[in-house]
C-alpha cells in the first residue's frame, strides 16, 4: 500500500483579506464613532495602512478589521503588525500591517521538530521550499499529526493541503 501524505503550508487567501478590508472600510465610513476622525483603512502596495486622528481610533479601526478577518476564516496570526502602537505622522496616526505567508526556515524547522518529538512514530517530514510534506503509512497517524499541530501554540497560521 502506498504512503499517505499531506502538506503543511502557511498561505493567506488574498481575496478573502481584500473582502474583509472592504467590509471594514465600509463599516468605518458609516459608524457614528468614526465620524469626523479621518479614519480609513486601505491597501498600500503589499501592506495595509490604517489612519485616523487619534491612536485610540486607529486601534478601534484595527479591531474592526480583525473582526472581519476572523468572520472570513483568516487567522489573526497571518497579520503582522510592526508594533501595536500607532505612529504619529503630522496630525494623523497610522498603523501599518503586513500579511505573513510561507513557512520560512525557522518556522518549518519548528513544525518538523514538534512532529518528530511529540508525533507518532513512523511519520516522516520533509521541508520543500516554504512547505512541509508529512508522509506515513497510516492515515490515522496523519490525522494525529494534524490534531497535534492544531493544539500547539505556534506564532504563525497553518493550513493542511494535498491530503492524499
Tally the C-alpha atoms within 13 A of residue 17's C-alpha that lie toward its C-beta: 19
Residue 1 pLDDT grade (very low, low, confident, very high; cuts 50, 70, 90): low
Judged against a pLDDT cut of 70, whether residue 33 lies above it is answered with yes
Number of neighbouring beta carbons within 10 Å of residue 133: 14
Judged against a pLDDT cut of 80, whether residue 139 lies above it is answered with yes
Number of neighbouring beta carbons within 10 Å of residue 45: 7
Mean pLDDT of the chain, nearest integer? 86
Strands 4-9 and 159-161, sheet pairing: antiparallel
Give the model's pLDDT for residue 2. Answer: 67
Phi-psi region of 147 (alpha: psi -120 to 50; beta: other; left: phi over 0): alpha
Task: Report which secondary-structure segment, H or E, holds 110.
Answer: helix 105-118
Q: Is 37 helix (H, G, I), strand (E, B) or coil?
A: coil
Give the model's pLDDT for residue 28. Answer: 93
Task: Please report the domains of the chain, with CATH numbers, ordered by start residue.
Answer: 4-11+103-161 (3.30.70.860), 14-99 (3.30.70.990)
Listed residue (141, 135, 52, 127) closest to 95, CA to CA: 52
Alpha-helix residue ranges (DSSP H) falling in 31-104: 55-71
Across 119-145, average pLDDT? 86
Spatial separation of the C-alpha atoms in residues 141 and 61, rounded to whole Å:
43
Give the model's pLDDT for residue 24. Answer: 94
pTM of the model: 0.81
Judged against a pLDDT cut of 80, whether residue 82 lies above it is answered with no
State the DSSP string of 121-145. TT-EEEEETTEEEEEES-HHHHHHH
Amino acid at each position: 500500500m502506498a504512503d499517505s501524505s499531506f502538506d503543511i503550508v502557511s498561505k493567506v487567501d488574498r481575496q478573502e483579506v481584500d473582502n474583509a478590508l472592504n467590509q471594514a472600510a465600509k463599516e468605518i465610513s458609516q459608524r457614528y464613532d468614526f465620524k469626523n476622525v479621518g479614519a480609513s483603512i486601505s491597501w498600500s502596495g503589499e501592506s495595509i495602512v490604517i489612519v485616523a486622528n487619534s491612536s485610540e481610533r486607529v486601534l478601534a479601526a484595527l479591531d474592526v478589521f480583525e473582526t472581519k478577518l476572523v468572520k472570513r476564516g483568516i487567522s489573526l496570526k497571518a497579520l503582522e503588525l510592526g508594533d501595536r502602537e500607532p505612529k504619529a505622522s503630522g496630525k494623523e496616526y497610522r498603523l501599518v500591517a503586513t500579511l505573513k505567508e510561507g513557512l520560512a526556515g525557522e518556522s518549518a524547522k519548528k513544525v518538523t521538530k514538534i512532529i518528530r518529538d511529540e508525533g507518532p512514530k513512523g511519520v516522516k517530514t520533509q521541508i520543500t521550499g516554504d512547505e512541509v510534506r508529512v508522509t506515513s503509512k497510516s492515515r490515522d497517524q496523519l490525522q494525529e499529526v494534524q490534531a497535534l499541530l492544531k493544539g500547539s501554540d505556534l506564532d504563525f497560521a497553518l493550513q493542511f493541503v494535498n491530503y492524499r
